[in-house]
Structure 1
């Protein structure tokens, strides 16, 4: 029996994370893979949100992002909401994956060559290959 190629994709509702999910869907379609779309939340109590509220809002944002990008795809997408650091949650999920896909927070010019902190941490510490997708990538 052949195992399915597993792709973990970080989603945060941003345009760059939607581009990453779009790329992951394309790659999964080519490889016969499946996607875990993961969104993590880590709010300080200073914001005054109850954990249930933050979890609910995160789940809704993830559901909408996956629907907007993957509604017509045949690729299986599992949605996962995690509490804690997004970088840690992605690395934990990537431990059993074949590929980790994240968006870039580049802003063009020289700063466009720089990754956001989550993407940078994933590139440096992931247990599997990492693809960083810039916004606007098709």
Structure 2
């Protein structure tokens, strides 16, 4: 028996990503698919690791661990609602769009929000979701969220 391809969910901590997370977990649960939650990062958007001190630049692995801890904390409540799912948290160092496209190689679906933490609110899609839609190696589900932060459609399980 072969293992089913995962559902990849892009997550950046925004309200848009939170809706994408909820929808992605519901879809994965319905499919019986494993989940990979991906949060790409760069030094400029990473929290300070515990080893940080003035004048000392911690190793990249320390930043990755700080991101992983933050991600685990932020998604814990949603994951608790889906104890049936096999979930992995991935924190690749790099641009979000590129890392989600890379993650799509072995996925059956990538789930992203319409926007992220970027500041161009007048656009239909954010730059990351646009890049993923254009370059992913599998289907992409873009979860629409209204400008007031509410889900466009009910997020029924």
Gapped runs of 5+ residues in structure 1? none
Name the residue aligned to 1:61. Answer: 70
Which of 109, 115, 124 is 1:99 aligned to? Answer: 109
Match for residue 130 of structure 2 among 108, 113, 120: 120
Q: TM-score, normalised by structure 2?
A: 0.75
SS in 2 for 1:21: helix
Q: For the structure 1 residues 49 and 26, does the alpha-carbon distance in structure 2 shift closer, same or farther, using more than 3 Å as the test?
A: farther
Cα distance in 2 for partners of 1:89, 1:123 equals: 13
Q: Aligned with 1:36: secondary structure?
A: strand
- Counterpart secondary structure, 2:130: helix
Deviations 1:51-79 (A, max 9, x none): 34532331122101220221121222111
> Cα distance, 1:132 vs. partner?
0.6
Q: Check conservation: 2:5, 2:106, Cα contact below 8 A.
A: no
**Structure whose residues are more often helix by fraction:** 1
Residue 50 (structure 2) aligns with: none
SS of equivalent residue, structure 2 residue 39 = strand
Contact 2:9 2:21 in 1 (8 A): yes
Q: Could you say which structure has the higher strand fraction?
A: 1
Cα distance in 2 for residues equivalent to 1:68 and 1:100:
21
When structure 1 is superposed on structure 2, of 69-78 and 14-23 the one drifting more is 69-78
Contact 1:13/1:61, CA 8 A, preserved across alignment: no
Count of residue pairs brought into register by the alignment:
132
State the TM-score, normalized to the length of structure 1.
0.84
Contact 2:114 2:129 in 1 (8 A): yes
**Structure 2: runs of 5+ lacking an equivalent:** 45-55
Q: Give 1:28 deviation, angstroms.
A: 1.0
Are 2:96 and 1:86 aligned?
yes
Measured on the aligned residues, the alpha-carbon RMSD in Å equals: 2.2
Structure with higher Rg: it is 2
